[in-house]
Amino acid sequence: MPNSAAMSRNGLVTEIRTRIRSDPLSSSYDLVGKELGRGKFAVVKKCIEKTTGKQYAAKFLRKRRKGADCRSDILNEIAVLELAAANPHVVALHEVFETSLEIILVLECAAGGEIFNQCVADHDEAFTEKDVMRLVKQILSGVAFLHQNNVVHLDLKPQNVLLTSARPLGDIRIVDFGLSRHMDNITEVREILGTPEYVAPEILNYEPISTATDMWSIGVLTYVMLTGESPFLGDEKQETFLNISQVNVDYSPETFEGISSPAIDFIKTLLVKNPRKRATAEECLNNVWLNSHPHSHPLLLPRSPSNLDEPETSQSESEPESPVPSPELDLIESYLTCPGQGELKAGRDAFSFSEPPLFPTRPEIQQELIC
C-alpha cells in the first residue's frame, strides 16, 4: 500500500516513513487477553509478536468515521509518533498494518495502564507528591520534545498518559496523538476540541491555540494527580466551561492537605488564562518544585475506589466491529469527580456540543469536532 500523501492541511502531517503492511496482523501477532482500553476512535488490545514473544498494544482505528474518510488523521497520528520516536516518554510505534476498514498501530505496550486509575485510587495506592514530581517531569520531557518540534498534543488528560508498570510505579508513556497538530500548518482552530475538563480557555473562546494550550492541560493533570479532584468540573458541562473561562480554581488548604506550597505554586504558573503568561514546558522543567527535595509521605486524600467504573473491556479477540461505543462522535469521554460528596467518581461522561449553550460558546462549535 502506498505510504501516500505529502500534503498537510490544518496542522495535519500525513507524510510518513513507516511501511504500512497489508498482510493480516494475525500473520505476525497473536491477540491475547482483554482490551487494554478504548477511546473515542479506537480499541486497543494486547498482542504478542510471534517471532520474538514480545508484548505490544495493537490500536485499531477505523478509517471511516460518520461517513467521512479519516485516513489522513491516522497518518498524522503515525507521523507524530515517528517524529517523537527519540523521546522515551512518548509511546514507541513498532509497526503499522492496514485493512480495508482499519489502520492498526502496533505500539509499545504500557502495561501499567492509565494514570487515571491512580488519580482516583484509594489512599494507599494513590500517588505521593514525590511520585507526582517524578511523573510530571517525565510528562514535561515528552511534551517539551513535542513543542521543540512544533507539535501540540491537544488532548493531554489522565486517560492518555500511561505507565510502563503500576506497581512498582513505572515511567510515563504519552499516547493518543489523534488530535495532535503541527503548529506551522494550523490555519484555524475551529475543528479541534479536546475533552471539556482539560480544555484551555482559548479553545472555548475561539482564540488561537499554541503550545501553551498543552501547558494548561498539564496544569489540570498535575492538579488531578495531586488532589484526586478535577479543578474545573461542574455539575453541568456549561458550568465546567464557565469555571475554565473564569479560572475558578479551588486552592484551599482542605483540597491541598499534605501537599507542599511549591506544588500549588507550580500549578498556578499553568492555570493562567492568558496563554502568553503561562509557563512553558522548559520553564516548568526548571521550576523550583520539580527541582526540590520531594515529600514522600502519601497524600492525605479522601479516595474511594468503590465508585470506579471499570474501563469497558471484552474478552473478544476478534477485531472490533465498531471500536467506538458512543452513538455520536461529538461525545467526548471525560473524568468525573464529586468532591462535594467527599468521595470521587470516575467515569466516562458524554459531553455533547449540540445542546443550546448557556455559556456563550460560538454556535459553529457544534459541528466542529474532528471526524
> CB-wise, 155 or 229, nearer to ligand ADP?
155
Task: From residue 249, give the alpha-carbon distance in Å to each of 64, 217, 221.
Answer: 39, 14, 13
Considering only residues 72, 118, 160, 222, which one is a binding residue for Mg ion as defined by CB under 5 A?
Answer: 160
CA nearest neighbour of 229 among 201, 192, 267: 267
Contact partner at residue 114 from ligand ADP, Mg ion, none, CB < 5 to 8 Å by partner kind: ligand ADP
Whether 155 is catalytic is yes
> One symbol per residue from 39 to 78: x for binding Mg ion (CB under 5 A), - otherwise; what is it?
x---------------------------------------
Q: Determine phi and psi for 43, rounding to 5 degrees.
A: -115, 135
Instruction: Indicate the DSSP class of residue 290.
Output: G
Report, in Å, the least distance between residue 260 CB and ligand ADP: 30
Report, in Å, the least distance between residue 352 CB and ligand ADP: 17
| Residues contributing to the site for ligand ADP (CB under 6 A) | 36-42, 44, 57, 59, 91, 107-110, 114, 159-160, 162, 175-176, 178
Q: Does 176 bind Mg ion (CB under 5 A)?
A: yes
Report, in Å, the least distance between residue 347 CB and ligand ADP: 14
> CB-wise, 39 or 219, nearer to Mg ion?
39
Q: Which three cell numbers stand for residue 346?
A: 470516575
Please report, as residue ranges, which positions from 94 to 113 form the binding site for Mg ion (by CB under 5 A): none
Which of 73, 122, 124, 155 is an active site residue? 155
Distance CA 193, CA 332 (A): 9
Distance CA 12, CA 134 (A): 32
Q: Does 217 bind Mg ion (CB under 5 A)?
A: no
CA nearest neighbour of 343 among 70, 12, 120, 99: 120
DSSP string for residues in 45-107: EEEEETTT--EEEEEEEESEETTEE-HHHHHHHHHHHHHTTT-TTBPPEEEEEE-SSEEEEEE
> CB-wise, 182 or 278, nearer to ligand ADP?
182
> CB-wise, 117 or 213, nearer to ligand ADP?
117
Q: Which three cell numbers stand for residue 148?
A: 521543540
Buried b (16+ CB within 10 A) or exposed e, 297-314: ebbebebbeebbeebeee
Report, in Å, the least distance between residue 110 CB and ligand ADP: 4
- Side-chain half-sphere CA neighbours of 343 within 13 A: 7
Contact partner at residue 237 from Mg ion, ligand ADP, none, CB < 5 to 8 Å by partner kind: none
Instruction: Indicate the DSSP class of residue 269.
Output: H
> CB-wise, 138 or 160, nearer to Mg ion?
160
Report, in Å, the least distance between residue 183 CB and ligand ADP: 20
277 annotated among ligand-binding-site residues = no
Whose CB is nearest to ligand ADP? 39
Given a contact cutoff of 8 angstroms between Cβ atoms, the answer to whether 153 and 147 are in contact is no
Angle at 94 between CA 83 and CA 212, to 5 degrees: 30
Which residue stretch of 144-152, 174-182, 257-265, 285-293 sits at the interface with Mg ion (rule: CB under 5 A)?
Answer: 174-182
Residue ranges for the known binding site for ATP are 59
Site of interaction with Mg ion (CB under 5 A): 39, 160, 176
The residues annotated as belonging to the active site are 155
